[in-house]
Amino acid sequence: MKTEPLVLGIETSCDETGVGVVRGHTLLADEVASSVEEHARFGGVVPEVASRAHFEAMVPTVQRALDTAGITLADVDAIAVTAGPGLAGALLVGVAAAKAYALAAGKPIYGVNHLAAHVAVDTLEHGPLPEPAIALLVSGGHSSLLQVDDLAGRVEPLGATIDDAAGEAFDKVARLLGLPFPGGPPIDRAARDGQIVIPFPRGLSAARDLVEHRFDFSFSGLKTAVARWVEARQRAGEPVPVNDVAASFQEAVCDVLTNKAVDACLDRGVRTLVIGGGVAANSRIRALAQERCDKHGITLRVPRPKLCTDNGAMVAALGAHLVAAGAAPGALGLPTDSAMPITVVTA
Amino acid sequence: MVVDSSTPAVTAALVRVEDPELPGAGDPQVTVLAERVTVDGRAHGELLAPQIQAVLAEGGAAPGDLAAVVAGTGPGPFTGLRAGMVTAAALGHALDIPVYGVCSLDGIGHGQPGRLLVATDARRKEVYWAVYSGGVRVDGPAVDKPAAVSVEVDAAAGDGADRYAEVFGLPLLPPRYPSARALAALAADRVRAKAPGETLTPRYLRRPDAVAPGERKPALP
Ligand SMILES: [Zn+2]
């Protein structure tokens, strides 16, 4: 019997230098070097700062992943790397490194789609993905609703944000409330001690919006509504109930995301929902999605928080899936594509 | 293996560094066996690995035959420069061979007679520059507007010297881009001595463009 493919995965699309090792659906190593602290004072990821950090972290992080997995480069069946979407300069560091490793070790290379990798990582926790599945991917860089017919090649975009990404809204509201960057974890914590009492708007959820934007998201209006509410309090000289604002804002985001994801499952007759991306680590989205999926008999799959955020294991997981599916590897000249469409799973 | 991506010229070369102590050592002791140079400032990441593969094939060598990697460490525009340097670092790591860095401008100034200004294009109407005397760097590298580079030299070389030839008013010498042979020659002693490899440090010479956010605009009128 042929053993399952052993794949090294490299991820550098944003501010995490991730290197993972996966055998089939088994996670062997997941090493991440993050430059998030260097971006904190800028309130968002600075592309050149991220690229410089990727360069410095690349070789040590690859070595740590090999050591943790207890393998050498010669043992792997393939090298997978995020080719897009993401920050152009950051992607280039990972792809150039992956090509050098592939060339030196004489291994095939797969340039993969970051969003598809967010879906694939769930197989490390819950095993093979039933297809078709609906995937909701939410982070500081993306908010997408996808129908995954075949993770190795056929993924259909159903909707996406038309303005800010969901994670971006968390960052901006956190800043408004004087909470640190990145905004997801501190808002989640503050919300636990708050009440959902402020009726913030649900973007693109009105009947007229659902005609054209049934599966799209918008968080810009919500962000502005929170800012106006907070400022009105401040101008009136009243204290801002940070915990209540955090809870109410978080509820508005999670309500829309889970509502539309479940609606997509029902509309398409799909019984499996996967949620991934950094925002999937949020406790409220996990609870609300579970509640709504249970109500409709949908199986919810959300990987543990460490696998939801950007990492190399997700890239390795998709790479292993592609190798097992017999997908053709890429060329050593494969390009990066900062706007890579989800319809392209491997470049 | 020599790689440099500090300029629009993406360079990979397979080079033999001979030991002068050994009988039958050739002269010159640095021989370029195969070289690929493509001038395309926007495709460093796509061109370099296939070029490395091509020079290995042309030189009849396998990756495992390499004894060292020599990398131009800039200065150069950030993204392109990093593509070559991370390639060099990963190649050395994967093959467990040392990686040596050489200032990319030295790849133009090395071995040139007299006093020479080497300038490459730094974009934003600036140049990366250094001054050489008898082929040895005596000033720089630095990044400045061409008009702000005030040095006593006989001639200039590099694509930046060409681009701003009217500002510099100096006779122009080749090469236009770092030469793989010169980069190899500059690392030859380390290669022969099997010196420990280095952690490469890109010569960015500029800070990242990043500004801390100012006061937030109010959402209320
Ligand atoms: Zn992501």
* Contact predicate B88/B3, CB 8 Å: yes
Chain B nearest C-alpha distance from A289 (Å): 31
Closest listed residue to residue B127, CA positions, set B155, B105, B102: B105
Closest listed residue to residue A154, CA positions, set A137, A138, A131: A131
pLDDT digits (tens, 9 = 90+) for B22-57: 666 555 689 999 999 999 988 888 999 999 999 999
Which of A41, A96, A336 is facing B87, going by the closest CB pair? A96
Is residue A96 over pLDDT 50?
yes
What pLDDT shows up at residue B212?
63
What pLDDT shows up at residue A38?
87
Confidence of residue A61 (pLDDT cuts 50, 70, 90): very high
What pLDDT shows up at residue B214?
60
pLDDT digits (tens, 9 = 90+) for B153-206: 999 999 999 999 999 999 999 999 999 999 999 999 999 999 999 999 999 999
Instruction: Mark out chain B residues that contact chain A at CB-CB < 8 A.
Output: 43-50, 52-53, 63, 78-79, 82-91, 93-95, 202, 204, 208-213, 216, 218-220
Burial of residue A338 (number of CB atoms within 10 Å: 0-12, 13-18, 19+) = middle
Average pLDDT of the residues in A29-53: 90
- Within 10 angstroms of residue A106's Cβ, the number of other Cβ atoms is 12
Closest listed residue to residue A150, CA positions, set A342, A347, A330: A342
Is residue A155 over pLDDT 50?
yes
**To which residue do tokens 């990798």 refer?**
A117
What pLDDT shows up at residue B130?
98
Beta-carbon contacts of residue A311 (< 8 Å; ≥ 6 apart) = A11, A16, A18, A20, A30, A32, A121
Residue A111 marked in a binding site: no
Which of A46, A73, A89 is facing B79, going by the closest CB pair? A89
DSSP state of A130: P
Confidence of residue A227 (pLDDT cuts 50, 70, 90): very high
Closest listed residue to residue A187, CA positions, set A158, A204, A167: A167
pTM score, two decimals? Answer: 0.94
Domains by residue range for chain A, with CATH: 6-121+311-324 (3.30.420.40), 131-305 (3.30.420.40)
Confidence of residue B21 (pLDDT cuts 50, 70, 90): confident
On whether any CB of chain B is under 8 Å from the CB of A104, the answer is: yes
User: And the tokens for A28?
Assistant: 């062997």
On whether any CB of chain B is under 8 Å from the CB of A43, the answer is: yes
Chain A nearest C-alpha distance from B106 (Å): 23
pLDDT digits (tens, 9 = 90+) for B103-136: 999 999 999 999 999 999 999 999 999 999 999 9
pLDDT digits (tens, 9 = 90+) for A197-208: 999 999 999 999
Chain B nearest C-alpha distance from A28 (Å): 19
**Cα A291-A205-A284 angle, rounded to 5 deg:** 30
Structure-derived torsion over alpha carbons of residues A221, A276, A332, B95, reported in degrees to the nearest 10: 130
What pLDDT shows up at residue A141?
87
* Contact predicate B1/B34, CB 8 Å: no
Burial of residue B88 (number of CB atoms within 10 Å: 0-12, 13-18, 19+) = buried
Residue A213 marked in a binding site: no
Alpha carbon A237 to chain centroid, angstroms: 39
Indicate the domain borders of chain B. 2-104+178-193, 111-173
Burial of residue A299 (number of CB atoms within 10 Å: 0-12, 13-18, 19+) = middle
* Contact predicate A61/A33, CB 8 Å: yes
What pLDDT shows up at residue A78?
98
Residue A139 marked in a binding site: yes
Chain A nearest C-alpha distance from B132 (Å): 29
* C-alpha A145 to ligand 1 mean position (Å): 13
Domain boundaries B2-104+178-193, CATH class: alpha beta
SS3 state at A166: helix
Which of A49, A105, A333 is facing B208, going by the closest CB pair? A49
* C-alpha A60 to ligand 1 mean position (Å): 22
* Contact predicate B117/B150, CB 8 Å: no
Confidence of residue A44 (pLDDT cuts 50, 70, 90): confident
Beta-carbon contacts of residue A214 (< 8 Å; ≥ 6 apart) = A159, A260, A263, A267
In chain A, % of residues over pLDDT 90: 94
Average pLDDT of the residues in A161-165: 94
pLDDT digits (tens, 9 = 90+) for B83-94: 999 999 999 999
**Reported ipTM:** 0.95
Which of B208, B211, B216 is facing A52, going by the closest CB pair? B208
Which of B45, B90, B209 is facing A92, going by the closest CB pair? B45
Across the interface, do A96 and B48 touch by the CB < 8 Å criterion? yes
What pLDDT shows up at residue A2?
61
* C-alpha A82 to ligand 1 mean position (Å): 10
What pLDDT shows up at residue A1?
46
* Contact predicate A53/A38, CB 8 Å: yes
Burial of residue B150 (number of CB atoms within 10 Å: 0-12, 13-18, 19+) = exposed
User: And the tokens for A213?
Assistant: 């934007």
Across the interface, do B86 and A104 touch by the CB < 8 Å criterion? no
Q: Do domains B2-104+178-193 and B111-173 have the same CATH topology?
A: yes
Average pLDDT of the residues in A265-290: 97
Domain boundaries B111-173, CATH class: alpha beta
User: And the tokens for A322?
Assistant: 């592609």
DSSP state of B72: E
Set of chain B residues whose Cβ sits within 8 Å of the Cβ of A97: 86-87, 89-90
For testing the chain B interface, which of A332, A334, A337 should be mutated: the one with the most B CBs within 10 Å?
A332
* Contact predicate A42/A75, CB 8 Å: no
Is residue A287 over pLDDT 90?
yes
Average pLDDT of the residues in A142-166: 95
Judging by DSSP bridges, how do beta strands B115-121 and B127-133 pair with one another? antiparallel
- Within 10 angstroms of residue B26's Cβ, the number of other Cβ atoms is 10
